[in-house]
């Protein structure tokens, strides 16, 4: 039996009941819902990760839509409860939706939203920051300096090769930052060709050549192993699914350069973290920058002791503008479904929804199962 749970209520007389399992940054998302006849209930339970039982209690007997978090397990139990409560929409406040069983949502006729685009550059910036922090050993250097041990410096990235696995929105933005910022060559692996990224590197290479500088180059790898063997800095940006679970395993770690830098700002289980700890111990010059972990919020034993690891707590999208934008997109996903609006044509271009001084377009910014629901 689910226990009662603490909530904050906005616009109590609103016609549609929308639940948010967490309070989210900013107030625009609240205004958008309450101005559109929604009664908004925000869970105020001071617990980082809500259980399925907690969320069942929040859904209750009548609920039109829920905005949830990537830490929650959205499967058959929750989607069928939402359907029984008369609900039709759920939105993750995240672009990644590996915590959502979309087939279960389809079976229950629930639209599933996510928040692409608004976090692309912010997440890529953190991956770039981790790359530099690991390459230039900034955390260690800071400790070194504070301890009064200052001596010297390390080599630079220019002319080295950056490897990207998963060259979608964030992977491509990260690649551009590293290529343009540090004149690195690119090797990438993705299931699809990253045509815009290739065109960018070609044009930038031509620009450098015209200025008498060494041009940068790109290569689309036939296998992931090619990227792991060749690149000096490798950043992981695929979705998490069964094809990418433990994509970095002991065999693949073994083929990487002994002094390579590995960055992960995608999802923790893309790396076998136990194997990574062993690899870091055996290869002190190998470095990692991690924003995500297999068992968040925890790290696997031994990782916290590794000087060759830079670790941050899943903050890649954590700028004020981005997180407020994510909250807005999540709210507009569920509001759009409640209002019967169509799905926005291009989830990669969500800027019109983020303009604070304009009314957002009458559409759902990003629904991942629109086709399956025959929408
Ligand atoms: N650390 C953080 O705070 C954040 C993490 N993320 C993670 O980053 C992921 C990527 O986000 P976007 O770039 O917006 O998504 P996207 O859909 O634009 O890019 C994902 C890319 O992965 C590729 N891919 C899928 N399976 C693959 C495989 N087996 N091997 C190689 N590539 C594969 C896809 O073809 C696609 O190009 C999200 O799904 C999420 O898990 C996203 C935002 C913030
Ligand atoms: O959006 C996501 O997928 C995140 O991990 C948090 O921004």
The reply to whether ipTM tops 0.95 is yes
In this predicted structure, what is the pLDDT of residue 340?
97
Average pLDDT of every residue of the chain: 95
Is the pLDDT at 127 greater than 50? The verdict is yes
> Which residue in 121, 180, 230, 296 is the catalytic one?
296
Annotation marks residue 296 as catalytic: yes
In the chain, pLDDT over 90 holds for what percent of residues?
90
The residue contributing the CA closest to ligand 2 atom 4 is 94
Within the chain, which residue ranges are assigned CATH 3.40.50.720? Answer: 7-118+318-373, 120-311
The runs of H, that is alpha helices, within the chain are: 28-34, 52-59, 76-84, 102-107, 120-135, 138-146, 169-182, 195-210, 224-230, 250-255, 273-282, 320-339, 351-354
In this predicted structure, what is the pLDDT of residue 16?
98
Cα–Cα distance measured from residue 161 to residue 154, given in angstroms and rounded to the nearest whole number: 17
pTM for the predicted model, two decimal places: 0.95
The pLDDT tens digits of the residues spanning 105-117 come to 999 999 999 999 9
In this predicted structure, what is the pLDDT of residue 51?
94
The pLDDT tens digits of the residues spanning 226-255 come to 999 999 999 999 999 999 999 999 999 999
How much is the average pLDDT of 69-87? Answer: 98
> Which residue in 267, 279, 287, 323 is the catalytic one?
267
The runs of H, that is alpha helices, within 118-258 are: 120-135, 138-146, 169-182, 195-210, 224-230, 250-255
Chain-centroid distance of CA 230 in Å reads 26
209 confidence band (pLDDT: 50, 70, 90): very high
How much is the average pLDDT of 140-167? Answer: 80
Is the pLDDT at 309 greater than 60? The verdict is yes
The pLDDT tens digits of the residues spanning 39-48 come to 999 999 887 7
CATH dotted code for 7-118+318-373: 3.40.50.720
Distance 59 CA to ligand 1 centre (A): 30
Is the pLDDT at 25 greater than 60? The verdict is yes
Q: Which residue has the higher pLDDT, 348 or 324?
A: 324
Question: In the CATH hierarchy, which fold is given to the domain comprising 120-311?
Answer: Rossmann fold (3.40.50)
1 confidence band (pLDDT: 50, 70, 90): very low
The pLDDT tens digits of the residues spanning 263-293 come to 999 999 999 999 999 999 999 999 999 999 9
Please tell me whether residue 38 adopts helix, strand or coil conformation. strand
How many CB atoms within 10 Å of residue 108?
18
In this predicted structure, what is the pLDDT of residue 145?
80
The residue contributing the CA closest to ligand 1 atom 3 is 316
């Amino acid at each position: 039996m689910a226990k009662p749970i603490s909530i904050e209520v906005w616009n109590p007389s609103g016609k549609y009941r929308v639940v948010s399992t967490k309070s989210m940054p900013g107030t625009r998302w609240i205004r958008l819902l309450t101005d559109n006849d929604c009664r908004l209930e925000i869970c105020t339970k001071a617990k980082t990760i809500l259980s399925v039982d907690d969320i069942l209690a929040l859904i209750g007997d009548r609920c039109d839509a829920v905005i949830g978090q990537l830490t929650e397990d959205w499967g058959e139990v929750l989607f069928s409860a939402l359907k029984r409560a008369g609900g039709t929409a759920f939105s993750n406040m995240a672009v990644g939706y590996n915590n959502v069983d979309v087939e279960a949502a389809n079976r229950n006729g629930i639209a599933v939203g996510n928040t692409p685009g608004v976090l692309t550059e912010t997440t890529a910036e953190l991956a770039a920051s981790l790359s530099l922090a690991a390459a230039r050993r900034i955390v260690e250097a800071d400790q070194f300096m504070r301890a009064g041990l200052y001596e010297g410096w390390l080599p630079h990235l220019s002319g080295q090769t950056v490897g990207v696995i998963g060259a979608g929105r964030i992977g491509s933005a990260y690649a551009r930052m590293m290529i343009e910022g540090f004149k690195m060559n690119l090797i990438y692996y993705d299931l699809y060709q990253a045509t815009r990224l290739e065109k960018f590197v070609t044009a930038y290479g031509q620009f450098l050549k015209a200025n008498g500088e060494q041009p940068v180059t790109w290569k689309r790898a036939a296998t992931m192993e090619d990227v792991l063997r060749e690149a000096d800095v490798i950043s992981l940006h695929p979705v998490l699914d069964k094809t990418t679970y433990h994509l970095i395993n002991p065999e693949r770690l073994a083929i990487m350069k002994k002094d390579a830098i590995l960055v992960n700002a995608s999802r923790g289980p893309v790396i076998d973290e136990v194997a990574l700890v062993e690899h870091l111990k055996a290869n002190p010059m190998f470095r990692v920058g991690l924003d995500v972990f297999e068992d968040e919020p925890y790290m696997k034993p031994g990782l916290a002791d590794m000087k060759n690891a830079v670790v941050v707590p899943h903050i890649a999208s954590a700028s004020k503008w981005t997180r407020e934008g994510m909250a807005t997109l999540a709210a507009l996903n569920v509001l759009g479904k409640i209002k019967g609006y169509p799905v926005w044509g291009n989830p990669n271009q969500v800027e019109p929804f983020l303009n604070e001084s304009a009314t957002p377009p009458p559409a759902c910014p990003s629904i991942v199962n629109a086709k399956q629901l025959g929408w």
